[in-house]
Amino acid sequence: MIPFFNRLLLLLAFPFGLYAQAASPIAQPGQPSAGPGGSEYIHQEVVFQDFATDPDGYWLFEPASPRPDSADVIVFLHGYGGYNPMIYGQWIRHLVRKGHIVIFPRYQKNLVFPRPPRFARNCAQAIRDALTELEGEGHVKPRLDALVFAGHSYGGVIGAKLGVQFEKFNIPKPKGLLLCAPGTGPLTGGRLRSYKHMPSDTKMVIVVSKNDEVVGEKMAKRIFRTAANTPDRNLLYLYQDLYGQPSLKASHNQSYSLDMEFDSGVRNFTAKRALRIAKVDAVDYGVYWKLLDAMVDCIRDGEHCEIALGGGYLQTGVGKWSDGTSMQALRAVLPPDIEDQK
């Protein structure tokens, strides 16, 4: 027999236990176990090397444990002032453990020098130098058949320019572009008036955050609208979702994903902001990481193309809250849709 006093305590605790259980916050999903954006990794370690002393230098990331003989290459183009690879570090680590070499060009010496018209040239020099270095002893050999450029903010604008003018800059042709919140704010250097000369076989996905307080949507729309000869291009809009906790944001720097092991020591305004606001969440797993993984797979093997492109739910779905409710999906604009091209 349970003593009367103990039974009374159990009865009193029971409704409070139910209330606490019912009041549990609705949470975001974690990283999926497999598929694009998932944690099905084939390498355990990342070899990180610094060749970035000069403003046209670069950082190099190679897969290890086990070390492959060769790997596909992704060029990761940082935003303005984001020349500390820790800012995007967990995304880079994810890519490398999936089996890619990542080249991270440094196109700025500081926040003032060089001026933006020089950015693309510095990136191109870094890409050429990195590929030369990779052909030497002790490195994983680069494969360029599925070369993809991923760029955030100003890096997205640079990526689009290099995607058009790769021959001018004497770099390999990128087969795919993922442009995350591309824009230059009040600056104009590095923009093209038109992207009509983007190759017709380039696969391009542009992701715009609807609450982008830094660059807005203008540059993304220009790239999408004028790259009219490139049919495999999608413009995706990311919306906030306040349903659960933490909520899903849709601001300019959603692609930040800190990894202090890749810290170069720079503490400018951009790095300090990243240290303050960066987090890895469902937007990383279900949008940026997923789209880039799928794009490489689509270009290389013809797999996961319906995730990389096309506007279907496999591309636009972000995931589900812990109670099974679908998160706010991306909105896709596809050619020849002109709704968001004005």
Q: Report, as an integer, the average pLDDT of 112-136.
A: 97
**What is the total count of domains within the chain?**
1
- pLDDT tens by residue, 169-196: 999 999 999 999 999 999 999 999 999 9
CA distance 144 to 71: 9
Has residue 68 got a pLDDT over 80? yes
Residue 14: the pLDDT is 43
Residue 303 domain-assigned? yes
Please return the burial class of 310, using the count of CB atoms within 10 Å of its CB with bins 0-12, 13-18 and 19+.
middle
HEC letters along 43-97: CCEEEEEEECCCCCCEEEEEEECCCCCEEEEEEEECCCCCCCHHHHHHHHHHHHH
Could you give the angle at the alpha carbon of 323 between the alpha carbons of 321 and 328, nearest 5°? 35
Q: What is the mean pLDDT of the chain?
A: 93
Residue 271 has pLDDT above 50, yes or no: yes
pLDDT tens-digit readout, 198-212 = 999 999 999 999 999
Q: Residue 134 in 3-state DSSP? A: helix
Look at residue 1 and tell me whether its pLDDT is greater than 60: no
On whether residue 14 sits in a domain, the answer given is: no
**Whole-angstrom distance between the N-terminal and C-terminal Cα of the chain?**
77
Q: Tell me, what's the pLDDT at 246?
A: 94
Query: Does 314 reside within a domain?
Result: yes
Least confident of 14-23, 145-154, 278-287: 14-23
3-class secondary structure, 209: strand
In the predicted model, what is the mean pLDDT of residues 267-271? 98
Whether residue 150 lies inside any domain: the answer is yes
Asked, for residue 7, whether it belongs to a domain, the answer is no
Question: Sorting pLDDT into bands at 50, 70 and 90, what band is 11?
Answer: very low
Taking residues 262-270, report their average pLDDT.
97
Residue 224, SS3?
helix
Q: In the prediction, which pLDDT does 17 show?
A: 45
CB atoms inside a 10 Å sphere around CB 29: 16
Does residue 19 carry a pLDDT above 60? Answer: no
Q: What is the pTM of this model?
A: 0.92
CA distance 339 to 276: 36
Is the confidence at residue 279, as pLDDT, over 70? Answer: yes
Q: What gap in Å lies between CA 260 and CA 266, rounded to an integer?
A: 12
pLDDT exceeding 90 applies to what percent of the chain? 91
Report if residue 134 sits inside a domain.
Answer: yes
Q: Are 126 and 56 in contact (CB under 8 A)?
A: yes
pLDDT digits (tens, 9 = 90+) for 217-249: 999 999 999 999 999 999 999 999 999 999 999
CATH number at residue 158: 3.40.50.1820
C-alpha 153/C-alpha 21 separation (Å) is: 42
pLDDT of 13 strictly over 50? no
Question: Using CA atoms, how far apart are residues 342 and 322, in angstroms rounded to an integer?
Answer: 38
What percent of the chain stands above pLDDT 70? 92
Any idea what DSSP says for residue 326? B
**What average pLDDT does this structure show over 25-54?**
97
Identity of the amino acid at 111: L
Burial of 314 (C-beta count, 10 Å sphere; 0-12/13-18/19+): middle
Q: Residue type at 1? A: M
| Domain containing residue 107 | 30-333
Provide the pLDDT for residue 23.
Answer: 62
Using the predicted structure, report yes or no on whether residue 5 has a pLDDT greater than 70. Answer: no
Residue 17 lies in a domain: no
The whole-number pLDDT of residue 18 equals 41
Write out pLDDT tens, residues 79-122.
Answer: 999 999 999 999 999 999 999 999 999 999 999 999 999 999 99
Q: Which of 151, 122, 327 is nearest to 241 (CA)?
A: 327
Residues facing 46 on adjacent strands: 63
In a domain, 6, yes or no: no
pLDDT of residue 12: 45
What is the 3-state secondary structure of 145-160? Answer: EEEEEEEECHHHHHHH
Contact 309, 292 (CB under 8 A): no
